[in-house]
Structure 1
Amino acid sequence: MTGNGRDELDTPQENGQAASPTCTASEHAELSAHEALAVVLQIRDGELCVLLWRRALPPCEGAWALPGGRLGRGENLGASIRRQLAQKVDVRDLSHLEQLETRSDPGRVPGRRALATAYLGLVPADVDPVVPEDTGWHPAAQLPSMAFDHASIVRSGRRRLRAKLSYTNVGYALAPPEFTMSELSGYYRAALGHDVAATNLRRVLLRRGQIQETGRSVPSGRSGGRPAALFRFRDRSLEITDAFAVLRPPT
């Protein structure tokens, strides 16, 4: 860990991301804002993606950033981030939203002192939000140059998701209401960043009581074979099912 509490490798250069040329350090200023930001993740075409938008105003004009903004009068943080996601990037179909962390580095935003509380939001794979032209989905493992400390916040969101997939049922927030085990293992593979065998995942999640068979199946393809059984999560709200579990890469 470094003196500011960040991992030593948690830098744009170490993660293959170029530093933004339009953002520079500045003199520390008095606190001027408390912002709510959102790391919105979704599995798209087999890849974990994050929703970003281009900043229209300085500082860091034109740089990719996390959606969000200042709290409105009378708003709490949760209400603020839901409002801003709906109004600014037209995202309302969140299957899960939780507070991630607060950033308070005095120099994180050039020219002014701004606190930021980040949220982790998940969108199920069967939803395709229509987003504005200045907004887009980007592979979470290959981030573009981003404003401020937002790339580091994305990486924190990825770590939180990986951890919670190990000991909770948060996979429900990535998956559609019904799925085959092959599909679900693909979602876990994309989120965890390593291979996940469908048979092993089925055994683990059934033992933990997270999923159940629906009694339905999808027809077999042209090559024949047994129809694939459809499953669903027993509960589509967050539950801790194995407090000490870790889903590790295959050895």
Structure 2
Amino acid sequence: MTRDQIRDADGVALYRHEAIAAVLQVRRVDDVERLTVLLSRRRDEPFAGLFALPSGAVETGEALDAAVLRHLAAKVDVSGVTHLEQLGTRSDPGRDPAQRTIATSYLGLVPTSSDPALPERARWEPVDALPALAFDHGIVVAEAVERLRAKLSYTNLGFALMPTEFTIAELREVYVAALGHDVAPTNLQRVLTRRGQLVPTGELSRAGTRGGRPARRFRFAEASLIVTDPFAVLRPEG
């Protein structure tokens, strides 16, 4: 049950507005690359003890983008966030049992090369094995994953998940984890090269412990979001 709604002198309802960040990263979990999300365990009610996404109120005179970055900075080094975009607005009257709260959610991405220090109560959790989350944050995570997977098909958003340089094998591991299905390395290289996304660096990787030929290294042609094929879908193999 929420408290009586606060209103201004003209009787217009005054709402709390918050910004929520679903920050995703492909990380190695149990020796497998998995798509994870940044969570933090709540200290206070409502939902004390449950995990939640980084979030907090938008201050007077503060833009939404500034608010979400401020709350993110309390959990992770925001210099490591390579992409941030608005997902949508959540306005269910009962989403916050303490008070009427409207929320604007964001998708953030961190590359595999980044391993920022986290506060004691924060951690990365695989998106396919989430604990119970506070508020409607489970829905926000699902929307963030859906947005990422869609944009990996028709944009160059993979740049935000990868280090500056990488091999095709490394790129495939990240795409498989992010998309949630297998992708053949030759097909992935062919598609991304045809769209002008991949550029060979001229460098080779070091030979692995099992030997074999050193692999060519690549980089993304652009390090900012562009649409490369508006009608494309990266489908499961077979």
- After the TM superposition, which residues 11-160 of structure 1 pair with which residues of structure 2 at under 5 Å, given as runs? 26-27=1-2, 29-30=4-5, 31-45=14-28, 46-86=33-73, 88-92=74-78, 93-160=80-147
Unaligned residue ranges in structure 2 (runs of 5+):
6-13
Unaligned residue ranges in structure 1 (runs of 5+):
1-25
1:236 CA displacement: 0.4
1:227 CA displacement: 1.3
d(CA) in 2 for partners of 1:222, 1:59: 51
How many residues end up aligned between the 2 structures? 225
Q: TM-score, normalised by structure 1?
A: 0.87
1:111 CA displacement: 2.9
Which letter maps to 1:182?
Answer: A
Residue 143 of structure 2 aligns to a residue whose secondary structure is helix
d(CA) in 2 for partners of 1:27, 1:35: 16
Which letter maps to 1:238?
Answer: L
Contact 1:106 1:114 in 2 (8 A): yes
C-alpha spacing 1:64/1:241, structure 2 compared with 1 (3 Å): same
Residue 250 of structure 1 aligns to a residue whose secondary structure is coil
* 1:244 lines up with 2:217 in the alignment: no
Q: TM-score, normalised by structure 2?
A: 0.92
1:29 CA displacement: 4.9
d(CA) in 1 for partners of 2:197, 2:67: 31
Which letter maps to 1:145?
Answer: A
Per-residue CA deviation, residues 17-66 of structure 1 (Å, 9 max, x unaligned), is: xxxxxxxxx35753531000000000101110000011111111111001
* 1:169 lines up with 2:156 in the alignment: yes
Contact 2:25 2:111 in 1 (8 A): yes
Residue 72 of structure 1 aligns to a residue whose secondary structure is coil
Which letter maps to 2:175?
Answer: Y
- After the TM superposition, which residues 173-184 of structure 1 pair with which residues of structure 2 at under 5 Å, given as runs? 173-184=160-171
Query: What is the Cα-based RMSD across aligned positions, in Å?
Result: 1.2
1:224 CA displacement: 3.2
Which letter maps to 2:88?
Answer: E
d(CA) in 2 for partners of 1:224, 1:50: 34
Contact 1:41 1:49 in 2 (8 A): yes
